[in-house]
Amino acid sequence: MIETCPKKRMFLGITGLGVLTILVLIVESHLTDRISSKKRDFPVEQNSTCKDKDTFEIIKHCEPCSAYDIASQSIGVCIHTHFKEVIKCSSGEMVTRSCDRAAYLDEKAYWKFEGFMFVSIFKETLSEPLFNCNLSQIHVKYYEASNLSSISEFCVWPVVITGIDVTAGLCSVARKIIKCCRNEKYKSLLGFKDACLLACSESSIWTKFCEIDMPKTVKDTLTKVDDYVKNGNLHIPLPLIKFEYHMQQPVRMHNIYKVARESHSDKTLKSSVSIENLNLVHTYGEGLYMTLADVLLYPCMKILFQTFGIDLLENIVPLSISWFRTITNSDLPEIYFEVNKINADPHRYKSHNRLCTKQLDIENSFNIINNSSIKIFNSFLPFGNEIEFDWSTVPLDANPEGGALPKKRASRKCEQLENLAKAVIKIAEKEKYLIVDFCSGSGHLGILLATLLPNCQVILVENKERSLQRARERIGKLNLKNIFMAQCNLNYFKAKFHIGTSLHACGVATDLVIQNCINNGAHFVACPCCYGGIRDCNRIKYPRSAELSALNISIKEYLIIAHAADQTHDEENIKTKQGFFCMDIIDNDRKLMAESQGYIVHLGKLQPPSCTPKNNLLVGLSKHLDR
């Protein structure tokens, strides 16, 4: 299999095939020339005054005859080769003659294609180093993709499928595999209370480091060498510096004083001793014991150290190298990588500053908006407000008041869900739509929609394992057959759908949901939350709309408004009204962006507004779907 070949062998193999192809073509051309060595005459129009040896000028180069010319024989020369060209004789006469330049043109096009493919493969071979991985200790079984469940296509692979669930994302998939493992020895890799890498990468810096930052760094190092080697100096990848700093910190773990007493055989050790003075060696990524985080980081680190040279980095990241050698000497399966080594001197990067918000800054940002022609508008009543809704018809297990929520909170939750459910019902009541409840939590909204719209199918998309476990229990009690679950981050979800919903998706997650819906040409029903959590990322940039971007408002001035939008929790506080105005600014920006993509967008408030401080509701109707 070609993907298992080393880079040099692959290149040599491709080059050999190219040379062999050229030899075959040369031989074929030679034989063809011998067969057709007889000079070929190209007829001209019969009434032409051109002589065979007359000089002439080609006015119109060889081109195919039309189907009509050939069928009607209106141009006699077309019956010979089906190609024609126009020439000007020495006498000045313009005539048409048959030609056979098509073979030359086809050959030229072929060689252009061959050359392009060879250059592309050559470039790809050089820019994407391949690895030899010795996985002989791992049993692998192959399946045909066509034989897998349809839910396997909901998310970016790798995925794990169990019943109506699909799990995606490196950390989540690895955790699922270990939890399904029959060997109890390996379950200890999940750490205390099975919490290792439990939090999603969108909320946990550590999970993001293991799942996204380190693999991306490895890819960038191998494919964008110039970013790390400049003027003969090596710029150490930032994640590697972060890991070294992490290993310098004191061990932090559950029952750390109990562990310290056992480690030092000192039962008199008091809890008043600072963690820094416990003298516990930070051996592994999460402390004293190997966890799944070490397993996931090890291949990345091995590639980096082989690429840069471990001797070069010995004095730069000594703790990281010590960790690497400890893992190497453990009983993990052997993994061998073949990579190119870079020779350079190390150089470090600097960190960025954080943003602080002051009232004067908020007012300055307001001035930019108020001095523009943009109208900040909220219709107050939400889309679908006129739809009748009766909670008495909803099964208890699909009602928040039937769960473990406190009564007051469950009542507010019902009010929130009712507003979003009305909007979805108005759009999908008579349709057989696929509805996706993004950032679904324990599935309150998605389960309610699956109950109220039995002709539709619903997918719960959530990255928290325990939240989906609670949803799974409720789905089982209701015996719902039109609902599925995907445990993954938003960027791993790839299924096509008709309606996307989200209730209090935090910060940038709301924009990711809306963008995902726009990319699918789907309707969206979104109630935003945590406005202060928005930030530029690889898929989302702020401001969202061209109108606000045209104001030349800086990202700092924009984020100041977003931070102030979170000051809406105390009705008596003077900043609450200001906070609601800031919410409307951000959501009008989202509204304008969606409208520029052909959407009809409604911005209103959940009723009653007191059901939640974050009570704006954005509903986008796509022109790509029949409503």
Mean pLDDT by 10 residues, the chain (627 residues): 52 72 70 50 56 70 73 67 77 75 59 63 50 60 75 88 90 91 86 88 86 91 77 82 92 81 82 81 90 93 87 88 91 57 42 62 94 94 96 93 82 96 95 96 96 97 92 94 94 94 94 96 97 88 96 94 90 87 97 96 96 96 74
Q: Please report the pLDDT score of residue 111 as a whole number.
A: 65
Report the alpha-carbon distance of residue 479 to residue 473 in Å, rounded. Answer: 10
Q: Which of 451, 529, 537, 532 is nearest to 489 (CA)?
A: 537
Q: Which two tokens stand for residue 574?
A: 């003077």
Q: Please report the pLDDT score of residue 52 as a whole number.
A: 58
Output the CA torsion sign for 227, 229, 230, 234: positive
> Quick check: 190 and 171 in contact, CB under 8 A?
no
> Quick check: 64 and 85 in contact, CB under 8 A?
no
H helix runs in 485-574, sequence order: 508-520, 546-549, 555-564
Q: Please report the pLDDT score of residue 28 as a whole number.
A: 65
Q: Please report the pLDDT score of residue 253 as a whole number.
A: 81
Q: Please report the pLDDT score of residue 439 as a whole number.
A: 95
Rg for the chain, CA atoms, rounded: 33
Q: Please report the pLDDT score of residue 101 as a whole number.
A: 56
Q: Please report the pLDDT score of residue 517 as a whole number.
A: 97
Any residues with CB less than 8 A from the CB of 63 and at least 6 apart, and which? Answer: 83, 84, 85
> Quick check: 96 and 85 in contact, CB under 8 A?
yes
